[in-house]
Structure 1
């Protein structure tokens, strides 16, 4: 009977070699790599878990790791005998084939741990579908998708969901801290692609796990900012940007992306060569520049577009999880726009759309990305003297203010006064849970947003306002 017992995947020999190698090779780069890739739960043997945790504890305290220090530390905690005593520690050190290979041994231990974790999660999925718990098949599929995402995260980072001790969280935080101050800056927040906005968001940037809401009336530039943030995410941050567009078809989104990145007006794709004399600039050179940009974006393979009509939250979640599994990470999920999405049935629209904003916020946390959500604003704001948008102007949902981490309104005074410069734009950072708020001055030109000298732009607007007030006084208004 015992011959038929199937044990979970593990390698006692590899675990022993890792522990012995760490005691022989204290302080080396190889040891640091092992400590960053393995956690105590990666070990199958309980006694090996205890020993490894003690080795990590000594390393964190910057104490030497050798046979005597480890045995003494375990004995002071009353755990030496439970792990086999001094003799077993000595045997671990003696039987290690080569301390130079501990990273390879650690990879074997991690591989077996990942397989055990996969079996555990697969069993959970099986139990999920057998359970009579009132969930629909669709809900169970979504729950299974979430479990697959957890498995993918575990494969990439070794982290698990659920309650974790302060020490476990701190270990991960220390690793993130090292990455944050490295040249790659991998663990820092994302950038928006608008330098002045990024300076206002510094030092944290767009914090991963955040919901970033862009609100404006039609024709203000919501989609322009949305696509510019996507390009920046893919080109500068080197992370996948997923654009879900319910308003524009995918080919128009592509043209907008190419135009923004190349600096060429997307209208060039609609001009015939016979109309060459009407084009402002070198038509052939600009067309070639745009096509070269399109080719580079294609090779980059980090921009995804989905123009499925009436997108639902479940569709966005499923597609985003799929890219996370394929690419290992997601930088931004961008949705244009909220009230065109298919909402769940609810007593009121604000409750239905509130469920979507909550779901998108949860998706941002689950994938460790930034979700950018566009929303239309009520036309009532146009009746105000000051037409600059506020979060409370969001149409059909008041939940946005509670769920979002950032809220940016877009305002063009020229949209209400044809005598003004139509390119002048204000990005109004009204809400920021992680730092400052304020106004960013920029220009919209040829379907792209360009930064301005903030001091000069502010002074120009203040002077114009003062002049306007003087003229109104003289006119008796």
Structure 2
């Protein structure tokens, strides 16, 4: 049997309760009083709180919800103790919150209406502490009852803790044009977006730019080079640009990832590394590239089994805690990701759509580009691919800011184009900030696990 949630008595005063979770009833009252006295405080408070659930006292939740509903229902809302009490009465909730006298008491006892956002920060902090306690309580109960496997319990606990961390708002967020203008002018003066990333392919850089908050989806058929693209891109960011990068691989283990990285950076045959048939010439190249790779502590390869969005987010937070918050994340590949809470007989297309949206939200939350590698349906074989060829989901097209489709050149009958052997086309199928429909040819060096730019023709 699950333990009952913490629920204080609605009609009793908020006296100290033994073993009560973190809360501050006085701060909660002060917020409500400030909103009743000065409606200009409503928006800053709403920006600082995640929602009514941040209040521990249930009647405070009800009053807060009533105030915000009244505020959003009219262009010129009348917010005061009388109108709020009337709205509560109309909803049949006035008696539950302690009657009209309690509403008037809130307005008369607030220390300072102008300090509402300070009170809101206190309430939000306590709400997050309660969420952490509740997440650990659920994890403990799952472990004690052995309701799931250890791995499933860990995944659920991480998801709960991430949910506790999510939803944090800030009253200091700059939203108006006036507040954003100076920063935008500084970006223009710099000549480039300082937060944007380039790729290792100069031809492709003329068409796209990787910006914070973007979901970039790279599609290809099986063996079509999408993993090479992702690894080469992450290596460029980490090793050439000196910025932290994370590759979350659901397809390859750490040893295979290291073999591909070493082959690309040292110019050694990938087959030699995988089969451990390394010549003296290979060793010389490996030793030359060694110092660069040995000190790449900001380049993280996560090959944890059953990777979920929660695990990727947890790894990103772990990197941030070490002072190396990732500048880019590569997920290889989308259709192999495990849903956060898999359901029996679930529709896989819906699951992939949820994962796609989750990666987009991850990019926006951490303000970095997230590159999702995705596989085509079998029907895309032998012809130039289109955005509707993604396996299991069409939602990828909607969520992505940039879509790149990789295709090895073929003749009209679907046979390989011998005149372009060793090349691969990158089709810019979607580009919200630039031209679409462009085809950028790259040199495909599969034996070295890398793609190279064609350069000026």
TM-score normalised to structure 1 length: 0.59
**Cα distance in 2 between the residues matched to 1:130 and 1:296:** 43
Q: Determine the structure 2 residue equivalent to 1:341.
A: 337
Q: How does 1:197-236 map to 2 (within 5 A)?
A: 197-201=204-208, 205-236=209-240
Structure 1 residue ranges without an equivalent (≥5)? 1-114, 151-159, 277-282, 457-477
Q: How does 1:273-352 map to 2 (within 5 A)?
A: 276=279, 283-284=280-281, 286-327=282-323, 329-343=325-339, 344-345=342-343, 347-352=346-351
**Cα distance in 1 between the residues matched to 2:248 and 2:422:** 26
Measured against aligned partners, the alpha-carbon deviations of 1:32-53 in whole angstroms (never above 9, x if no partner) come to xxxxxxxxxxxxxxxxxxxxxx
- How far the C-alpha of 1:126 sits from its partner, in A, is 2.1
Alignment equivalent of 2:245, drawn from 241, 244, 268: 241
**Cα distance in 2 between the residues matched to 1:453 and 1:119:** 57
- How far the C-alpha of 1:417 sits from its partner, in A, is 2.2
Give the number of equivalent residue pairs. Answer: 315
Structure 2 residue ranges without an equivalent (≥5)? 1-117, 140-155
**Cα distance in 2 between the residues matched to 1:389 and 1:307:** 29
Are residues 332 and 173 of structure 1, via their aligned partners in 2, closer, same or farther at CA, if it must alter by over 3 Å?
A: farther
**Cα distance in 1 between the residues matched to 2:163 and 2:171:** 15
**Cα distance in 1 between the residues matched to 2:285 and 2:119:** 51
Are residues 356 and 170 of structure 1, via their aligned partners in 2, closer, same or farther at CA, if it must alter by over 3 Å?
A: farther
**Cα distance in 2 between the residues matched to 1:163 and 1:272:** 56
Q: Determine the structure 2 residue equivalent to 1:123.
A: 126
For 1:323, what is the secondary structure of its paired residue?
helix
For 1:413, what is the secondary structure of its paired residue?
coil
**Cα distance in 2 between the residues matched to 1:177 and 1:302:** 31
**Cα distance in 2 between the residues matched to 1:165 and 1:266:** 49
**Cα distance in 2 between the residues matched to 1:407 and 1:441:** 16
- How far the C-alpha of 1:163 sits from its partner, in A, is 8.1
Are residues 340 and 119 of structure 1, via their aligned partners in 2, closer, same or farther at CA, if it must alter by over 3 Å?
A: same
For 1:214, what is the secondary structure of its paired residue?
strand
- How far the C-alpha of 1:195 sits from its partner, in A, is 0.7
Are residues 161 and 355 of structure 1, via their aligned partners in 2, closer, same or farther at CA, if it must alter by over 3 Å?
A: farther
Q: How does 1:415-434 map to 2 (within 5 A)?
A: 416-417=415-416, 419-434=418-433
**Cα distance in 2 between the residues matched to 1:124 and 1:440:** 50
- How far the C-alpha of 1:131 sits from its partner, in A, is 7.8
Q: Determine the structure 1 residue equivalent to 2:161.
A: 141
For 1:375, what is the secondary structure of its paired residue?
strand
CA contact (8 A) 1:215 1:376 kept: yes
For 1:358, what is the secondary structure of its paired residue?
helix
Measured against aligned partners, the alpha-carbon deviations of 1:306-348 in whole angstroms (never above 9, x if no partner) come to 1122211111111112212322532111111111111233742
Q: Determine the structure 2 residue equivalent to 1:192.
A: 199
Measured against aligned partners, the alpha-carbon deviations of 1:102-144 in whole angstroms (never above 9, x if no partner) come to xxxxxxxxxxxxx999966542312435789xx9974541223
- How far the C-alpha of 1:252 sits from its partner, in A, is 1.2
Q: Determine the structure 2 residue equivalent to 1:34.
A: none
CA contact (8 A) 2:245 2:326 kept: yes
Are residues 408 and 144 of structure 1, via their aligned partners in 2, closer, same or farther at CA, if it must alter by over 3 Å?
A: same
Measured against aligned partners, the alpha-carbon deviations of 1:429-472 in whole angstroms (never above 9, x if no partner) come to 10011111211011111221111146x4xxxxxxxxxxxxxxxx
In terms of fraction of residues, the more helix-rich structure is 1
For 2:406, what is the secondary structure of its paired residue?
strand
RMSD, matched Cα: 3.4
**Cα distance in 1 between the residues matched to 2:397 and 2:164:** 30
Q: Determine the structure 2 residue equivalent to 1:174.
A: 182
Are residues 162 and 412 of structure 1, via their aligned partners in 2, closer, same or farther at CA, if it must alter by over 3 Å?
A: farther
CA contact (8 A) 2:263 2:273 kept: no
CA contact (8 A) 2:132 2:164 kept: no
For 1:449, what is the secondary structure of its paired residue?
strand
**Cα distance in 1 between the residues matched to 2:353 and 2:126:** 33
Q: Determine the structure 1 residue equivalent to 2:42.
A: none
- How far the C-alpha of 1:175 sits from its partner, in A, is 3.5
Q: Determine the structure 2 residue equivalent to 1:448.
A: 450
Alignment equivalent of 2:273, drawn from 264, 269, 277: 269
Alignment equivalent of 2:394, drawn from 371, 395, 398: 398
CA contact (8 A) 2:244 2:298 kept: yes
CA contact (8 A) 2:261 2:449 kept: no
CA contact (8 A) 1:239 1:331 kept: yes
**Cα distance in 2 between the residues matched to 1:392 and 1:411:** 14
Are residues 261 and 161 of structure 1, via their aligned partners in 2, closer, same or farther at CA, if it must alter by over 3 Å?
A: farther
TM-score normalised to structure 2 length: 0.61
**Cα distance in 1 between the residues matched to 2:365 and 2:389:** 28
